[in-house]
Amino acid sequence: MAERFIERGLFASRWLMAPMYVGLVGALLILMFKFMQALAEFALHALHASESETVLALLALIDLTLAGNLLLIVVFSGYENFVSKIDVGDHEDQPDWKGKVDFAGLKLKLIASIVAISGIHLLKIFMDIPKYSDRDIMWMVIIHVVFVVSGVFLALMDRIHVQHAAEGPMVGGGGH
């Protein structure tokens, strides 16, 4: 009796995550506001901006867009993996990956997004290199490389796990 009560309570506790995902949708709204603000700023100064300033402004817009994509991936797949399936019927605009991204896929999508955002940030720095000290640039490159290497190791670990799982139990009753 107590075990059943505890297990039902533990299972229901997943709903404590739902407000966090709703909060991330709020963060997406704030990000959209910042995107619109950056777009308006870009539009106001585009005629008088240099080529370098134009590219930097575009990279900033791409950076914000990738951050928004990252938020959506976390909201959709996190909610579906940890809280409940999102039932929108057979809506034609439903993303193909919705409902298909497991936790391993979520990790890889997250690190790929982080690497892309970091790469764009690094590109923005390289476009305006005189603004930064050699030490700052060195640390930003190191951080980016750490993200890239982390992503490669995560992908490698997932690949090893999938191959290991595909092998199944060893013949003769031995375990892995």
**In whole angstroms, what is the distance from residue 103 CA to residue 101 CA?**
7
Q: How many CA atoms lie within 13 A of 13 on its CB side?
A: 7
Residue with tokens 């890889």: 108
**In whole angstroms, what is the distance from residue 172 CA to residue 150 CA?**
37
Return the domain boundaries, the chain: 2-85+96-167
Residue 114 near residue 56, CB atoms below 8 Å:
no
* pLDDT tens series, the chain, 176 aa: 899 999 999 989 999 999 999 999 999 999 999 999 999 999 999 999 988 889 889 989 998 998 998 898 889 888 888 888 877 777 677 666 656 666 777 778 888 888 888 898 898 888 888 889 999 999 999 999 999 999 899 888 888 877 877 776 655 554 44
